[in-house]
A and B are shown apart, each in its own frame.
Chain A
């Protein structure tokens, strides 16, 4: 092979889970002294690839080469012996122990069989100095900020492996200054010749420090290229797989005189989650939310619903100022919320289809107006039919249903409460084509019936198909609001990628 100068290389990696191909023939090469960004939307295969490169998963095909020699990585500790170290999003260190011990745990210098604390702390001081960290090595790790802990984690990984450093979303919980601090450290390591893989959802950060970028989509390798030859729009287009020249006509009817205002959010936001935004939602309107993963889409939904209460701004419902501090407040105002992660936050897997459908309505009615079994059957049956839920019986556990049918159950649950405003977060993720079309049809029908909706989706074609308006999120900020002819995938991609001159409606 000509590319023997790769420090770490993956050739033709295949990974199959059940009958789902998670990684399809991926080639990936990492050079010494580069920062290589690995990009892709959720489910693109990024984390699977990283897990293979760190030995947490074994590939079903293809090989991994370190300095040109094929290796098999049994587990992350084994990968460490080949010089591959990883730092994760959550700091995987011990907050209850000293900084020095976190750097050396398992490798503490010994003297007569006992840990030599003096030497350990002296060595730690030398290492910390390399990272411009002026902290006491004997201080408890948990007493320092997340950024410092993150740097200690990097120092440990470099100390123990020292050839390849994998940074898996290290900036997710850092503020701007802390991110800069971390980048200085990363650039310093790059100068020392380390090969660094950098995973993040923030495009700004990719452009700030990366040399090359590899984009994955649906388990396939899309492109590996030098970053200076790419614009933001190119990168977003690679990630989302949309051809920028595509200018499909939107089938949204020219916006007639808008209906009456239902909701008015002003300066609404939450620290460390979403920057303040203004948004007005009318009855009979579907507002689509577009943006990359991690751009703050889900956070907007959670704030509106009170799942994570806003800490600034005001909201008016039907013109009346009010406060939504918890989900039950939102439900009182007739809100409904179908979350993104069905399994964890939506369905109650062991309960029956019937119980899953009536539970929100029962919650709204309160403790003392219990729905009896016949009423429950009546309601569940009605929605089972109108939503075409394919279940052998309404009394079977909902976890046995397919993803699409589970989604319909959750949708039914909120529709049963007769909501005025419904939030759908990725309603079509992971469901089959038939159910997909049905959910899109349902959204259109509900809009025509006068319900207001906020729909979050990564499928641009889909958002375009049902939205009356689209707001675009970038880096936890609402950056654009698109209407009318501007609702097409090309414009959305540009807005996501930050091309202000073209994106603003």
Chain B
């Protein structure tokens, strides 16, 4: 097996074992209802994590994701409920705003040579601050189109529901996988994460690719914000605080190397599902504090970082400790 596949395989195995163990304890966890809710409940996280996967593969990080989700929710709510826009028009506007926002961050990262960590940290404060300036309160969305969209679902045998937003997440994952693994843009993303200097010398359009990566991340974060507003039927400036960290965890647990260059979009899907499983288990148990989710995520994240270190340090023949250049 290719070494870059090993962390993903480990995640998949852990997911199956954990799910099997949960089902042994709570047999009702094996039902279409639980599985359907899995997708619906984690849709916004999954969509944001797809964008984060591209950013991390390229060797960067995007800390603005949670704030963009919050900002989008508020903007959508304000446009629909206060200004009377049709939801579809509101969606187009917020996706456009997010694209510009992401492009600006990407441009700052490339042209000013500032680490993505810093630029997106600034972006996070901007977006969160912007949302809170528009309103401090939760803005409800009562539009019939909204209601119709969030009720849109496929009923599964056994009482399960495959909601629109759950399906949307799956579509985004499939699209993301195609983009990452089957297009030139995808290969450029991996090239940037592998070695930016080589990428430049090999003719990768580094500036354009960097801008596109952060645009993609912000647009998907905005889409995630729309999904979150569908899910909650409201926009709230302090929504989705820290979701960027959950997204990063899902990406890393899904087998993407935090230092860039290796990873799979569908791995992130498994990562998101594993996080969702932990949450669902805790709900089923009923006695555990929901903070246990964080503890389990912390342990998993640590395990996977160690695992990646071991796999990539043990089998990297061409990458010995860089010898002193022979002058």
Does A144 lie at the interface of the complex (its beta carbon under 8 Å from any beta carbon of B)?
Answer: yes
Given A94-B202, A96-B193, A96-B194 in contact, is the A149-B326 Cβ separation under 8 Å?
A: no
State whether the Cβ of B318 lies closer than 8 Å to any Cβ in chain A.
yes
> Is B184 an interface position by the 8 A CB rule?
yes
Q: Kindly state whether residue A227 has any CB partner on chain B within 8 Å.
A: no
| A94 contacts B183, C-beta separation under 8 Å | no
Interface string of B186-214 (1 = CB under 8 A from A): 11101101110111011110000000000
Known: A94-B195, A94-B199, A101-B187. A140 touches B2 (CB 8 A): yes
Question: Does residue B157 face the partner (Cβ distance < 8 Å to A)?
Answer: no
Query: Does A115 make an interface contact (CB < 8 A)?
Result: yes
User: How distant is the Cα of A92 from the Cα of B202 in the complex, in angstroms?
Assistant: 8
Please tell me if B4 contacts chain A, counting CB pairs below 8 Å.
Answer: yes
Contact with B along A160-200 (1 / 0, CB 8 A): 00000000000011000000000000000000000000000
- B156: chain A residues at CB < 8 Å are none
Q: Assess whether A108 is in contact with B187, with CB atoms less than 8 Å apart.
A: yes
Q: Which residues from chain B contact A272 at a C-beta distance below 8 Å?
A: 323
A71: B residues at CB distance < 8 A: none
Q: Write the nearest CB–CB distance from A342 to chain B, whole angstroms.
A: 13
Scoring A residues 307 to 328 as 1 if CB is less than 8 Å from chain B, else 0, what string do you get? 1100000000000000000000
Task: Bin chain B's interface residue count.
Answer: 20 to 34
Q: Verify A149–B194 contact, CB threshold 8 A.
A: no
Task: Kindly report which residue of chain B lies nearest to residue A201, judged by CB atoms.
Answer: B326
The answer to the question of B286 belonging to the interface, with a C-beta cut-off of 8 Å to chain A, is no
B148 within 8 A of A: no
- The verdict on A105 contacting chain B, using a C-beta distance below 8 Å, is yes
Q: Given A96-B190, A97-B190, A105-B202, A115 and B184 touching (CB < 8 A)?
A: yes
Which residue of A77, A106, A144, A294 contacts B318 across the interface (Cβ within 8 Å)?
Answer: A144
Q: Number of A-B pairs whose CB atoms are under 8 Å?
A: 94
Residue of B nearest to A104 (CB): B187
B262 interface residue (CB < 8 Å to A): yes
List of A residues within 8 angstroms of B198 by Cβ = 92-94
Which of B198, B204, B261 has the most chain A CB atoms inside 10 A of its CB? Answer: B198
Q: Does A114 contact B (CB under 8 A)?
A: yes
CB-nearest residue of chain A relative to B326?
A172
Evaluate contact between A76 and B201: CB separation under 8 angstroms: yes
A115's partner among B2, B4, B187, B316 (CB-CB below 8 A) is B187
* Chain B positions 289-327 with a Cβ under 8 Å from a chain A Cβ: 315-319, 323-324, 326-327
Residues of A contacting B315 in the complex (Cβ-Cβ under 8 angstroms): 143
Judged by a CB distance under 8 angstroms, whether A145 is at the interface is yes
Q: Are B191 and A92 in contact (CB under 8 A)?
A: no
Task: Report the minimal beta-carbon distance from B180 to chain A, rounded to whole angstroms.
Answer: 11
- Is B182 within 8 A of A114, CB to CB? yes
Q: Give min CB distance, B209 to chain A, whole Å.
A: 11
Per-position contact with B for A105-127: 1 when CB-CB < 8 Å, else 0?
11010100111010000000000
Across the interface, B202 reaches (CB within 8 A) one of A93, A110, A143, namely: A93
Complex interface: chain A residues within 8 A of B203 (CB): 77, 80, 105-106
B178 in the interface, Cβ–Cβ < 8 Å? Answer: yes
Beyond A94-B199, A97-B190, A298-B327, is A110–B184 a contact (Cβ under 8 Å)? yes
Cα distance, A340 to B324, chains bound together (Å): 13
A76 to B198, CA, bound (A): 12
Docked CA distance A145–B318 (Å)? 6
A146 interfacial contact with B, CB 8 Å: yes
A302 with B324: in contact, given A95-B319, A108-B187, A143-B317 (CB under 8 Å)? yes
Bound together, the chains give a CA A307 to CA B323 distance in angstroms of 12
Does A465 count as interface, using CB distance less than 8 angstroms? no
Q: List 8 A-B contacts (CB under 8 A).
A: A76-B201, A94-B191, A94-B261, A95-B319, A110-B184, A113-B183, A273-B326, A302-B324
Q: Which residues of B contact A (CB under 8 A)?
A: 2-4, 178, 182-184, 186-188, 190-191, 193-195, 197-199, 201-204, 261-262, 315-319, 323-324, 326-327
Binding site for B on A (CB under 8 A): 76-77, 80, 88, 92-97, 101, 105-106, 108, 110, 113-115, 117, 140-146, 149, 156, 172-173, 272-273, 293-294, 298-299, 302, 307-308, 340-341
Given A115-B183, A144-B318, 12 new contacts (CB under 8 A): A76-B201, A80-B203, A94-B198, A97-B190, A105-B202, A106-B188, A108-B184, A114-B183, A142-B319, A143-B315, A149-B318, A173-B323
By Cβ-Cβ distance, the 7 closest A-B pairs, closest first, are A96-B261, A96-B194, A94-B194, A92-B198, A114-B182, A142-B318, A106-B203
